[in-house]
Amino acid sequence: MTTFNALLNHAMTLAREAGAEQLKLFRSKELNIATKQNDFDVVTTADKASEKIIVEGINKIYPDHSVLTEESGFSLKGNSEWTWVIDPLDGTTNYSSGLPWFNVSIGIKQGERTVAGVVYAPQLNEMFAATLGGGATLGGKAIKPSLTPSLSKAVVSTGFPYDKATNPDNNLDNFMRIMPVVRGLRRLGSAALDICYVAAGFLDAYWELNLHEWDVCAALLIAQEAGAFTRRFRPDRNWCILAANPHLAPQISQLIQ
């Protein structure tokens, strides 16, 4: 019988293996960088190498499980109830620039519900993990969101979509509403880490437009299991996500569109 903890342990092992591969190429002259949709959307040899490690590992242990990855798309395995949702290297722009905020994100779904999730930042040596109903951890220790009561005392983060230059619906309106009323506003460049940092209380809130399921699948479970508030706030720009500590959620929800 497949248990959530067994799935989580395998996901953690694969995340560590992929992370080790990323560290080999990090800040290396051997790292090849290409673009996808436009100059803002980059992919590296490390993205592809990480994906290969994870997908081959899943196929070896769970050959009947379906897989959804950022680089290769969806691989359906019969009528399997299990799907692994993978961003092999979230924060590629950071990674390709030599900045340490990047990670491996692996979420595991049973039907439509996410039951296990891992977000591993190898350069920072931070392993966030959760199972459905089992709580959330960082480095094996339980995490909880912050208790910050007001936006004036909050440090929050956001990001901007890859089509920001051509689509005026690019989050600048939300940024301008929120920036003056918070203590600090950050742009860390990794959706999965941003959400996990809300889960752990390092950030008080985070929002972003036009994400994809592989960006957030694992991190949302981690945030929810930690006790953070999460929701999708728009239906028309892929995955638009808000994560916040429960005290701030009503306040920041009023400002985000």
3-state DSSP of 7-45: HHHHHHHHHHHHHHHHHHHCCCCCCCEEECCCCCCEEEH
* Beta pairing partners, 42: 35
Report pLDDT digits (tens) over 230-240: 999 988 999 99
- Tell me: the pLDDT tens digits for 125-144? 999 999 999 999 999 999 99
> b/e for 212-244, b at 16 or more Cβ within 10 A?
ebbbbbbbbbbbbbbebbbeeeeeebebbbbbb
Q: What is the pLDDT of residues 26-84, one digit of tens each?
A: 999 888 776 655 554 557 889 999 999 999 999 999 999 999 998 788 887 878 899 99
Residue boundaries of the structural domains of the chain? 4-142, 151-253
Residue found under tokens 């994560």: 243
Please provide the CATH number assigned to the domain covering 4-142: 3.30.540.10
> Mean pLDDT score of the chain, rounded to an integer?
93
Smallest CA-to-CA distance from 198 within 242, 249, 151, 245 is with 245
The pTM for the full model equals 0.94
Check pLDDT > 80 for residue 180: yes
How does residue 2 score in pLDDT terms, banded at 50, 70 and 90?
confident
- CATH code 3.40.190.80 for 151-253: yes
Quick check: helix, strand or coil at residue 243? strand
Which residues neighbour 202 within 8 Å (Cβ) at sequence distance 6 or greater? Answer: 146
